[in-house]
């Protein structure tokens, strides 16, 4: 999808991009092959050609960081199909939302395997940082407002400088409102464990505290399962959202 996009070019907004496509220019190669494009001066066309060639080189070199500088935040979804196999679906659990709150769980999913790291159990920030360097795209639900700033506030150098696809904003565009669980229900996504299905809000922190206080593995297993299903379900939502956004493009 990114190779069908022109919105990253200077002074090209949604209307200008749509005008380009109306002229039968559907991707970067089409653009480069056209000598003239209606609504674009010869000087601008020459400049855009250089920027498209530059973007193409960076894309095929796997440098997704390049697009953090030029692609509008709301349009990061366009990178998803190209970097799907190098995406990390990320979700955290915390002790609250205040300045003194801390992260209890980091959950990662690469589309095949989950890695759930729990505070005071198996959370190793050095290993986590190394793991995150393997990816080219971060996918969250409401991460722009919560997860990403929360992580950066506490661990400034932990997250790599790669694009972030926030599913919540895309869901709202598609009429899917509410939190993650509401969106899951709207899409018919069900959690396997009825107990986990009923967990909300501060419940994961309560599970962490109960495990720390009692040492009972049952609470730890529920906490891990809760976060694990969060990140796995992000993949299902991302696949759905991407296809719908592409159809509406």
pLDDT per residue as tens, the chain (249 positions): 999 999 999 999 999 999 999 999 999 999 999 999 999 999 999 999 999 999 999 999 999 999 999 999 999 999 999 999 999 999 999 998 887 899 999 999 999 999 999 999 999 999 999 999 999 999 999 999 999 999 999 999 999 999 999 999 999 999 999 999 899 999 999 887 666 566 655 588 888 888 889 999 988 998 999 899 999 999 999 999 999 999 988
* CA 14/CA 35 separation, integer angstroms: 22
Give 50-105 as a DSSP string. HHHHHHHHHHHTT-THHHHHHS-GGGGGGGHHHHGGGEEEEEEEES-SSTT--EEE
| CB distance 108 to 156 below 8 Å | no
């Amino acid at each position: 999808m990114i190779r069908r996009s022109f919105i990253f070019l200077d002074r090209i907004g949604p209307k200008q991009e749509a005008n380009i496509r109306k002229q039968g220019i559907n991707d970067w190669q089409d653009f480069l092959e056209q000598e003239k494009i209606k609504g674009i001066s010869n000087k601008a066309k020459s400049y855009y050609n250089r920027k498209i060639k530059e973007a193409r080189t960076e894309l095929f070199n796997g440098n997704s960081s390049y697009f953090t500088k030029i692609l509008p935040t709301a349009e990061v979804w366009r990178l998803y199909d190209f970097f799907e196999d190098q995406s990390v679906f990320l979700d955290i659990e915390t002790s609250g939302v205040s300045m003194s709150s801390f992260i209890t769980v980091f959950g990662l999913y690469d589309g095949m395997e989950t890695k759930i790291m729990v505070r005071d159990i198996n959370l190793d920030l050095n290993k986590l940082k190394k793991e995150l360097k393997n990816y080219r795209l971060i996918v969250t639900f409401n991460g722009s407002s919560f997860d990403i700033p929360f992580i950066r506030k506490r661990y400034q150098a932990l997250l790599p400088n790669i694009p972030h696809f926030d599913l919540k904003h895309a869901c709202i565009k598609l009429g899917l409102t509410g939190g993650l669980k509401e969106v899951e229900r709207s899409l018919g996504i069900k959690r396997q464990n009825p107990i986990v299905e009923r967990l909300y809000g501060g419940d994961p922190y309560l599970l962490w505290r109960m495990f720390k206080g009692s040492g009972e593995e049952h609470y730890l297993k529920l906490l891990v399962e809760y976060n694990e299903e969060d990140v796995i379900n992000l993949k299902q939502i991302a696949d759905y959202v991407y296809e719908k956004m592409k159809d509406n493009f």
